[in-house]
Structure 1
Amino acid sequence: MDIFLIEDNFVQREFIKKMITKITNPYEIAVKIRTFANVDNFLAKINLDELEQSSVFFLDIDLQSSINGIEFAVNIRNKLPDCLIYFVTSNPGKAAEIINRNILASGYLIKDLEHLDELEPQIKQIFEKLLSEKKLDSSYIEIKQSHTINLININDIVIIESLPDQKGYVQLHTKKNNFIFRSTINKLKEKIDAPFIAKDLKSYIINIHHIQTIERKLGIITFDKGIEIYASKRIIDKLIKKLKQEL
């Protein structure tokens, strides 16, 4: 789970990061927290187009940058309709503007500058709710690597393929990451159900939304981020048929 925290106050930023780390550790969920002082700093290092729908944002509303947290949240929501956005503020009255902008906030962290410790129970409540909902949400699948759990949004899956050299293991590609874990294609087919997922393939599960090109004559399918596989004409014809159905 990628978490992005944008807060211009260093003390508050570090405290929130520390609390998120403390609260998520017992869940054994793979969490990566990245912190930024402002939107400009974020955009200098991160391309929104490359982020996944499972991303979680904590945004200070009153950021001292070229745009504030609310304006930036509008941009995020346009790019990542399924991501989670939590606003950090000392002014709950800002909620009306957020609702009017149709940002669909997931929640709020109300901070008291003199009592930062009051943020801890709020963060705990957010992550207890967030993790329980994601585990129950059919748009997410849970995969285990050693003692770590990864929650993957189905929209972010590019392709899952069996590994003939590693019996009982599969490789799952997302736009950003690759995961190799113990499972089978058939077991995963039972967990994944979406109209844009091609499951009637022997050794693959493919998200047709991430297909860039199909070269039937050469038997090559190219996906986002340059992922490429060689496939039989039978597989390619099935994918072409499904793509036409989605049009």
Structure 2
Amino acid sequence: MTMTITCFIVEDELQHGKIIAESIEDFSTTNSAITFQPKIISEFIHFYENLNDFVFADKDIFIIDIHLNTYFSGIELAKKIRALNQKVPIIFLTNDEHSGIQVINAQISPLGYVVKHILPNIIFKEELFSLLEQIRSQLLVNLNSGELLVFRSGNRQIIIYPEEIFYIATIKGVRGKVLIKTQKSEITCTEQLHQIKKKVSHTHLFTELKSYIINLAHIKSFSRLEGIILFDHGQELYVGTKIIDKISKKLK
């Protein structure tokens, strides 16, 4: 089974960001089931100003330097992220061990802090690894409790949060495969739709359609005239008028 967690790094010192990314890669090698993929946000001003257009999942992680050398702080960035998503883990980087009170007052609820040290290392790997291990352990608990879905894709098993799914659809002309569209990717799953419906119990996943499973929570709007569903982040799906009517009835 595999699950990839993206770790977004917001750090104004490029070298610091690279060291953090390398540390995350080192940690990721300790377990093949849940991997951590670092991604440095180099244009963090653009990121801050266009955060609403940025796609990330509940399981992703933000690692943010509190003291960004720009017109906003890491705390202000974290507040914007938290306003969009209450679940995504936030880890703060700081060279000030007393920065926590500012974060508490901002009601951000971070997972924790990693204190940067100039010598001998920029960060203590142990501090970062401990926080990442907390996240990985919780994901494994969620998996064992059935809060995560496992899909077969060839010889791999893919782990997905139900909340990440926009829709699951049969592939026209192809038997034994379905397309899973999530917030961040498209996955071809080597299972039949009726098999998937049996293991899906999430309240927002509508399973009463012949060729689709639709996440009602991600629907922004739909057009009966065009037969199109519009999901978050501009994703569209053509389903036809009859299915639009069924979804409309379900949403009432």
* TM-score for both structures, normalised by structure 2: 0.81
Amino acid at match of 2:131: I
Matched, 1:222 2:227: no
Q: Structure 2 CA distance, aligned partners of 1:37 and 1:152?
A: 28
Question: CA distance change for structure 1 residues 128 and 171 in 2, over 3 Å: closer, same or farther?
Answer: same
In the TM superposition, residue 97 of structure 1 has moved relative to its aligned partner by: 2.0
Matched, 1:4 2:13: no
Q: For this pair of structures, how many residues does the alignment match?
A: 242
In the TM superposition, residue 98 of structure 1 has moved relative to its aligned partner by: 1.2
What percentage of aligned pairs have identical amino acids? 26
In the TM superposition, residue 23 of structure 1 has moved relative to its aligned partner by: 1.3
Bigger shift: residues 155-164 or 222-231: 222-231
Q: Is the 8 A contact 1:221 1:231 kept in 2?
A: no
In the TM superposition, residue 157 of structure 1 has moved relative to its aligned partner by: 1.5
Aligned to 1:179: 187
- Name the structure with the higher helix share: 1
Q: Structure 2 CA distance, aligned partners of 1:147 and 1:113?
A: 45
Q: Equivalences for 1:72-151 in 2 at 5 Å?
A: 72-116=77-121, 119-137=124-142, 139-143=147-151, 145=153, 151=159
Q: Structure 2 CA distance, aligned partners of 1:107 and 1:140?
A: 24
Aligned to 1:24: 28
In the TM superposition, residue 95 of structure 1 has moved relative to its aligned partner by: 1.5
* TM-score for both structures, normalised by structure 1: 0.83
In the TM superposition, residue 43 of structure 1 has moved relative to its aligned partner by: 3.7
In the TM superposition, residue 158 of structure 1 has moved relative to its aligned partner by: 0.9
| RMSD, matched Cα | 2.8
Amino acid at match of 2:118: L
Local SS of the residue matching 1:93: coil
Q: Equivalences for 1:194-213 in 2 at 5 Å?
A: 194-213=202-221
Q: Structure 1 CA distance, aligned partners of 2:184 and 2:112?
A: 26
Aligned to 1:160: 168
1:64 to 69, 92, 97: 69
In the TM superposition, residue 117 of structure 1 has moved relative to its aligned partner by: 7.3
Aligned to 1:52: 56
**Gaps (5+ residues) in structure 2?**
none
Aligned to 1:170: 178
**Gaps (5+ residues) in structure 1?**
none
Question: CA distance change for structure 1 residues 226 and 39 in 2, over 3 Å: closer, same or farther?
Answer: closer
Amino acid at match of 1:123: L
